[in-house]
Amino acid sequence: MMISSSSRWTLLALSLSFAAASVCSRSLHRLARALTRRRPLSMRTPPRTAAELAAAQLPLIGDGTAHRPRVAADDARASLLLRHWRADADILAALARGESIRTEPLVYADEAGAPLYGQLVWADDGTSRRRAGVLLVHTAVGPRDLFLLWKAEALASLGLAVLLVDMFGDARGDAWDKEWAAPRRAAYQADPSLFARRMRLAHAALAASPLVDGSRCAALGFCFGGPPVLHYARANPDGLLAAITFHGILDAHPPPPTAHGRAPRARFLLCHAKGDPFIPASAFDACVAQLEALGARWTTLVFGGEARHSFTNPAQALNPDAAFAYDAMAARTSWLAAKDLLRETLLE
């Protein structure tokens, strides 16, 4: 690694329709138990043993409806993610403190008025305090992703209010279908300024929540979520204090003019695998050079060894494509660095 300067568990949040009301139980995952004695798997506590898993209603990945969106590539990867999710130390600590992790739909509109299907996640500690906010941006498979929901709960357990941003208008997990997702990704390639515009709408939706202090926000993105975070942070929006990418698709598109001509107020953390085939060294270097030219405060973590694209996601251990690889050390180190930056910028 090279460092350079400058409830319990459930698919409930995935399976509830966007007409559902806010979940209010000790955790999202325990409400399902009260709804029905014989409930579908998507509304159950994740199985804890192989026997329970074998007896559970499948598929774990959902069925691609608004009620049960698709949330993973396959059941094996979904099961692996659930095991990591329910072992997350920060979430367990929040539950041990008596907090309940809640998720509710937050539907907002794009620039043409079409719906974007966000989800707001926070830990209810019994207070009415306003929380710092996080815009959490998805990968190329869209916002209906078990990995993303796990990370949203982990961030919420730190005392943050997290909006799972929807860049595609995907209520059902359609982005797992490459043919469905391709034209939506292409729209951003054709007009990169769309990244910042969509992020601005998401930020406004998050800041409008009574749970959130809009003057203390961060943006965090994985893979495809890297460009939205970078484009938005380089525009220097009010209230954005940190910008973090994990194996983000880095670029050096001309940034929007920064507010008042000042350097971005957000601090940047870029977590990158040297062996990522989707991010050539020239793109990484150009992105860092641009941040330097803008006068930004930035840090990069560059991981060597076996780290590849999507190194933070345990499910990539089951991906036969050699371009993708989970790296536990890189995942742990980058996540700890991200939490440190969020604490310094939002929580202290």
Question: What pLDDT band is residue 24 in, cutting at 50, 70 and 90?
Answer: very low
In the β-sheet with 161-165, what is the strand arrangement from edge to edge? 2-4, 297-303, 267-273, 240-246, 212-222, 131-137, 161-165, 115-124, 100-109
Q: Provide the mean pLDDT of the chain.
A: 85
Radius of gyration in angstroms for the set of CA atoms belonging to the chain, rounded to a whole number: 19
Give 16's DSSP letter: S
Give residue-wise pLDDT tens across range 172-222.
Answer: 999 999 999 999 999 999 999 999 999 999 999 999 999 999 999 999 999
**Does domain 2-6+101-347 correspond to CATH entry 3.30.950.10?**
no
pTM (two decimals): 0.84
Q: Is the dihedral of CA 321, 327, 330, 335 positive or negative?
A: positive
User: Residue 133 in contact with residue 161, Cβ under 8 Å?
Assistant: yes
Distance CA 323, CA 304 (A): 14
Q: How many CB atoms lie within 10 A of CB 112?
A: 5
Q: Using alpha carbons, list the distances in angstroms from residue 46 to 220, 243, 260, 304.
A: 27, 32, 49, 34
| Angle at 90 (CA atoms; ends 326, 118), nearest 5 degrees | 75
Judge whether 239 and 265 are in contact, CB under 8 Å. no
Q: Where are the domains of the chain?
A: 2-6+101-347
Q: What are the pLDDT digits (tens) for 261-316?
A: 689 999 999 999 999 999 999 999 999 999 999 999 999 999 999 999 999 999 99
Nearest to 302 by CA among 332, 334, 336: 334
- The reply to whether omega before 69 is within 30° of 0 (cis) is no
Instruction: Give the separation between CA 250 and CA 300, rounded to whole angstroms.
Output: 12
Concatenating the DSSP letter of every residue in 169-207 gives --SSSGGGSHHHHHHHHHHHHH-THHHHHHHHHHHHHHH
pLDDT tens figures, 56-96: 445 778 888 888 899 999 999 999 999 999 999 999 999 99
